[in-house]
Amino acid sequence: MQDRQDIKKERAKSSPRNKFLLVLALLLFILAVTLLTTEIGLRLLGLFAAITNTTEDFHKIEQADYFIACFGDSYTQGAGASSRKFTYPKQLERILSERYPNLKILVINEGFGGLNSSETAIKMESRLKKYPRKPDLIIVLTSHNNCWNLHSCSALLKGYASLPRNKRWVEKLESTKIGKLAVILDARSKNFSAILAKIHRDKWHEVVKEDVKKTGAFVPLLDPKNGEEIYFLKKWIEYDVAQMRDIARSSGARILFATYAIFDENCLIREAAFNADAPYCDAIENGHQWREMGLMAADGKHYNDRGYAVFAEHIANCMESHGSIPKKRQLANY
């Protein structure tokens, strides 16, 4: 009798603990299922976006007299534009067609939101193999996502650069789509941007004056003394720009690198293009005033239809100045 009572007491004592463990196990199971479902959903969403992003003009390549392929991230893809026809590649096609009515000009959009420079290089190499003929010109606007997106980082994979010690957790986190999403949501506050901004503020004016005098190009003087993070980005962008130059050359196409408005990363892209001996289009000088000029989309980061038109005009002028199309024009009034 005593034994039976002792058993009941023990069960009564262990019951709350068992309930707690059961609830905890259930919560962990729900969390695991939620994370797994989210991961699968993000991967399927990315696959769907990649498929639907395939250019509708692909079949027109063989008929074009002058074929341009534009690679890049969300700015090339056209985030902020009201429709695909108002993205910068399509507006560039319109502008060039108006300037050169005797040429059948085709500009295709190979941009995809969030790509870093390594992912852009991988996509470029893959797409060039699928074209029925080589592009006459490849325009690349990239590296603005390198400050948060480490996926497929070629400089790390090839041992060209090592990740700063305080950023190695980012690489591990980005091995999953959920981890990458977390980094995106926290990107601007805890990654490289603050350091880039400081370098940009401290160096910009003095560097621009000296480099224009000496070389006619903007080549900031950056070195490891400016910090592990800035040096890592510098080496990474330098590696990928050289890779993309070689990919284009091996296909027989010309390449032109460019930057959008005034971004902290521009100085690194500019220097990488200069060191790779590759043509480069700098940002429009008044790019930091675009918001006040009504050229930015509602998100405050990308351009609207008018902004992409101004940028496309700028790229067309830059192409002519580099001899990509043999005529130079002044930037139209906008």
Q: Are residues 149 and 74 in the same domain?
A: yes
- 120 and 254 co-located in one domain: yes
pLDDT at 67: 95
Is the residue at 326 inside a domain? no
Same-domain status, 70 and 23 = no
pLDDT at 34 over 60: yes
Helix runs in 131-265, H state only = 154-157, 168-173, 177-185, 187-190, 193-215, 228-251
Beta bridge partners, 110, equal 71
Do 223 and 301 have their domain in common? yes
Do 136 and 243 sit in the same domain of this protein?
yes
- 41 and 88 fall within a common domain: no
pLDDT at 47: 53
Within a domain: 124: yes
16 within domain boundaries: yes
Would residue 330 count as lying in a domain? no
Same domain, 92 and 17: no
pLDDT at residue 299, rounded to an integer: 86
Q: Which residues span the domain enclosing 30?
A: 1-52
How is residue 325 annotated by DSSP? S
Q: How confident is the model at residue 328 (pLDDT cuts 50, 70, 90)?
A: very low
> Is 58 among the domain residues?
no
pLDDT value at position 231? 79
- Provide the whole-model pTM: 0.71
Kindly state whether residue 181 falls inside one of the protein's structural domains. yes
Beta carbons within 10 angstroms of residue 332's beta carbon: 12
The 10s digit of each residue's pLDDT in 109-145 is: 999 998 999 999 999 999 999 999 999 999 999 988 8
Which tops the pLDDT comparison, 306 or 41?
A: 306
pLDDT digits (tens, 9 = 90+) for 154-208: 888 788 877 665 555 555 555 555 555 454 445 443 444 444 444 444 444 444 4
What pLDDT is stored for residue 189 in this prediction? Answer: 39
Q: Structurally, how many domains does the chain consist of? A: 2
Q: Which two tokens stand for residue 18?
A: 């068992």
Work out the end-to-end distance of the chain between its first and last CA atoms, rounded to an integer number of angstroms: 96
Judged by phi (left if over 0) then psi (alpha if -120 to 50, else beta), residue 114 lies in left
The domain spanning residue 258 has which CATH number?
Answer: 3.40.50.1110
Q: What pLDDT is stored for residue 157 in this prediction?
A: 78
**DSSP-assigned beta bridge partners for residue 67:** 106
Residues 282/218, Cβ–Cβ less than 8 Å: yes
Same domain for 130 and 46: no
Q: Within this chain, do residues 86 and 225 fall inside the same structural domain, yes or no?
A: yes
Contacts of 311 (CB under 8 A, 6+ apart): 88, 260, 284, 303
User: Would 57 be classed as within a structural domain?
Assistant: no
125 and 198 co-located in one domain: yes
Determine which of 76-85, 104-113, 317-326 has the lowest per-residue pLDDT on average: 317-326
pLDDT tens profile 196-250: 444 444 444 444 444 444 443 443 434 444 466 777 888 899 999 999 999 999 9
Among 295, 296, 315, 332, which residue's Cα sits nearest to residue 107? 315
For 258, the 3-state DSSP assignment is: strand
Pair (169, 280) in one structural domain: yes
333, part of any domain: no
Same domain assignment for residues 273 and 143 = yes
Q: Residue 306 class from Cβ within 10 Å (0-12 exposed, 13-18 middle, 19+ buried)?
A: middle
